[in-house]
């Protein structure tokens, strides 16, 4: 009787196992790098989107209020309109309640203070913040012909420019800057 020595091999050799582990490691490292990169892009886009939203809210608030400057439905002798114009601030009044009297809550101001846009509805005694951190706020004034003016009484159009920034990555010094412009026709001051 002849007995054949015959062995069946089951499983992987050590070399095959090490090669499979190395390939799996490369796939895991590649996938996690891709995930981290995509997460960073998502966070940066979310920050930029938040900055844009804050800038639009601030711009819309300022434009809405400046457009009302000078509103005086009773045409009284009270002084309604632009009171002071500056490159980084504006002061104006309008008759909110329509009584023809300039009340303390009808005096509006906008300014930038320590990278925060602020507004006051009571002659500057209490300031409230508009959303976001803005690195720039500029006002330019034009008459009905589109000529630049520095006289509040001649102003018919106010151009507002807001510049904001957001940090792109935590721990980095990279920023995304954005500028938003709007020209506001002051309805109650233009002829």
In a domain, 33, yes or no: no
**Per-residue pLDDT of the chain in tens (191 residues, 90 and over written 9):** 666 655 566 777 889 899 999 999 999 999 999 999 999 889 889 999 999 999 999 999 999 999 999 888 888 777 888 888 888 999 999 988 888 888 888 899 999 999 899 999 887 778 999 988 899 999 999 999 999 998 888 899 999 999 999 888 777 788 899 999 999 999 887 65
Residue 59 lies in a domain: yes
DSSP 102-117: --GGGEEEEEEETTEE
Q: Looking at the domain assignment, is residue 27 inside a domain?
A: no
Residue 15 lies in a domain: no
Report yes or no on 66 lying in a domain. Answer: yes
Q: Which of 180, 145, 157, 155 is nearest to 56 (CA)?
A: 180
In a domain, 170, yes or no: yes
Look up the domain containing 83 and give its range.
40-185
Calculated CA dihedral for residues 27, 28, 30, 35, nearest 10 degrees:
140
Question: Per DSSP, what are the bridge partners of residue 104?
Answer: none
Phi and psi torsions of 68, nearest 5°: -85, -10
- Assess if residue 116 is contained within a domain: yes
Number of separate domains in the chain: 1
| Domain assignment present for 117 | yes
Using a 10 angstrom Cβ sphere, with 0-12 exposed, 13-18 middle and 19 or more buried, the burial of residue 92 is buried
């Amino acid at each position: 009787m002849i007995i054949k020595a015959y062995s069946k091999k089951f499983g992987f050799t050590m070399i095959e196992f090490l090669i499979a582990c190395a390939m799996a490691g490369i796939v895991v490292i590649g996938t996690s790098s891709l995930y981290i990169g995509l997460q960073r892009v998502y966070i940066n886009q979310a920050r930029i989107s938040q900055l844009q939203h804050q800038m639009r809210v601030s711009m819309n608030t300022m434009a809405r209020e400046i457009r009302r400057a000078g509103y005086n439905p009773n045409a009284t002798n009270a002084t309604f309109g632009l009171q002071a114009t500056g490159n980084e601030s504006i002061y104006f009044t309008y008759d909110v309640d329509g009584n023809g009297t300039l009340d303390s809550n009808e005096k509006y101001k906008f300014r930038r203070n320590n990278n925060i846009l602020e507004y006051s509805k009571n002659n500057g005694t209490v300031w409230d913040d508009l959303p976001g951190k803005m690195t720039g706020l500029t006002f330019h004034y034009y008459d009905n012909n589109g000529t630049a003016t520095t006289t509040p009484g001649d102003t018919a159009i106010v151009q507002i420019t807001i510049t904001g920034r957001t940090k792109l990555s935590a721990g980095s010094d990279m920023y995304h800057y954005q500028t938003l412009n709007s020209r506001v026709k002051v309805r109650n001051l233009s002829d």
